[in-house]
A = this chain, B = another copy of it.
């Protein structure tokens, strides 16, 4: 079988972008053997052209526009991680490119505009990596679980806060001490606000609210409380009740309508989410047919997030390959089997 070439423009070469590059070096052959698709990362947009990188210099540019203005590039991967990334994703769609992104803030902020632009331009828009990193939750909701109506969703959606709470629980240590250690180990950012105040989790919950409950709620409208005021004494008191404290993003249908929040929550030790420790993430769902489900895995990190990006990229590649056969049929040429 002749292999179909798919050319990618990679917008951003930070942690996730580096993982997207690295995964292709690792698994290019096995992906091609499984799918018949030969992917190439043709151009990479970075901020600083002067830094040494794994990517050959001739593929680098400091203008994101160069990616979506290139007629050979078919898919743009948006992993700049900047809040204004949505602008570039929209421009890429308007230039006829399919878009895959891991940027939860951009997806949560510009959801309608991005969906609308994808539809108008007849391009694919996929964002599995924007929620819970490597855990394939969005796709499962959109496909395998679509026969359900949902009653409840609970997620541990932020690895930094789960790491901190786990170590506070295991070591009986206080918040400030564990945060400092987490920062030294690279599990928390120098400015940890977006993580520890629940903002990152609220962005992800906003995306899940759209998909699971069909409800459009902006992150700023989700009641959000972080973990920075949790003390060692709170954790000890929880333990005495046979509970653990976790930062839970929750949505549930109640008599009063759909309720949602991000807040520190007491979970009985038997709850499936109570065993989710350290930097791991998990999503717990309750549907009216499937009942209880939980997905567990790495919610961040270069390669786990790249795994989700590549799942999307390969699906886009398959559609491009199908579309080529389809165009051939419409043009009156011979159809591929």
* Interfacial residues, chain A to chain B (CB-CB below 8 A): 19, 23, 26-27, 30-31, 34-35, 128, 134-136, 139-140, 143-149, 214, 272, 275, 280, 287-298, 301, 303-304, 306-315, 326, 329-330
> Chain B residues near A310 (CB, 8 Å)?
146-147, 289
Residue of B nearest to A120 (CB): B337
> Chain B residues near A19 (CB, 8 Å)?
289
Interface contact A147-B297, CB-CB below 8 Å: no
Interface contact A303-B330, CB-CB below 8 Å: no
> Chain B residues near A301 (CB, 8 Å)?
291
Residue of B nearest to A28 (CB): B147
Interface contact B289-A303, CB-CB below 8 Å: yes
**A143 to B35 Cα, complex, angstroms:** 11
Interface contact A308-B144, CB-CB below 8 Å: yes
Candidate in A145, A149, A280, A287 with the most chain B CB atoms within 10 angstroms: A145
Given known pairs A26-B288, A298-B290, the reply for A136 and B145 (CB within 8 Å) is yes
Given known pairs A26-B288, A290-B304, A303-B291, the reply for A34 and B314 (CB within 8 Å) is no
22 contacts between A and B (CB under 8 A): A19-B289, A26-B149, A30-B149, A31-B147, A140-B144, A143-B143, A143-B314, A143-B315, A144-B312, A145-B307, A145-B311, A147-B310, A272-B275, A272-B296, A289-B303, A289-B304, A290-B297, A293-B297, A294-B296, A294-B297, A296-B296, A326-B326
Interface contact A135-B293, CB-CB below 8 Å: yes
Cβ contact of A144, chosen from B139, B145, B275, cutoff 8 A: B139
Residue of B nearest to A285 (CB): B297
Interface contact A297-B292, CB-CB below 8 Å: yes
**A326 to B313 Cα, complex, angstroms:** 24
> Chain B residues near A295 (CB, 8 Å)?
293-296
Known: A19-B289, A291-B298, A296-B296. 6 other contacts (CB 8 A): A34-B146, A35-B146, A134-B290, A289-B304, A294-B296, A330-B330
Top-4 shortest CB links A-B: A147-B310, A136-B144, A290-B307, A144-B311
> Chain B residues near A148 (CB, 8 Å)?
27, 307
Interface contact A291-B145, CB-CB below 8 Å: no
Interface contact A311-B134, CB-CB below 8 Å: no
**A136 to B306 Cα, complex, angstroms:** 21
> Chain B residues near A144 (CB, 8 Å)?
128, 136, 139-140, 308, 311-312
Residue of B nearest to A280 (CB): B292
In the assembled complex, how far is the CB of residue A256 from the closest CB belonging to chain B, in whole angstroms? 20
> Chain B residues near A23 (CB, 8 Å)?
147, 289
**A10 to B227 Cα, complex, angstroms:** 51
Residue of B nearest to A274 (CB): B275
In the assembled complex, how far is the CB of residue A247 from the closest CB belonging to chain B, in whole angstroms? 19
> Chain B residues near A290 (CB, 8 Å)?
134, 297-298, 303-304, 307-308
**A304 to B147 Cα, complex, angstroms:** 10
> Chain B residues near A313 (CB, 8 Å)?
147
**A227 to B300 Cα, complex, angstroms:** 38
Interface contact A27-B329, CB-CB below 8 Å: no
Cβ contact of A134, chosen from B280, B293, B326, cutoff 8 A: B293
> Chain B residues near A128 (CB, 8 Å)?
144
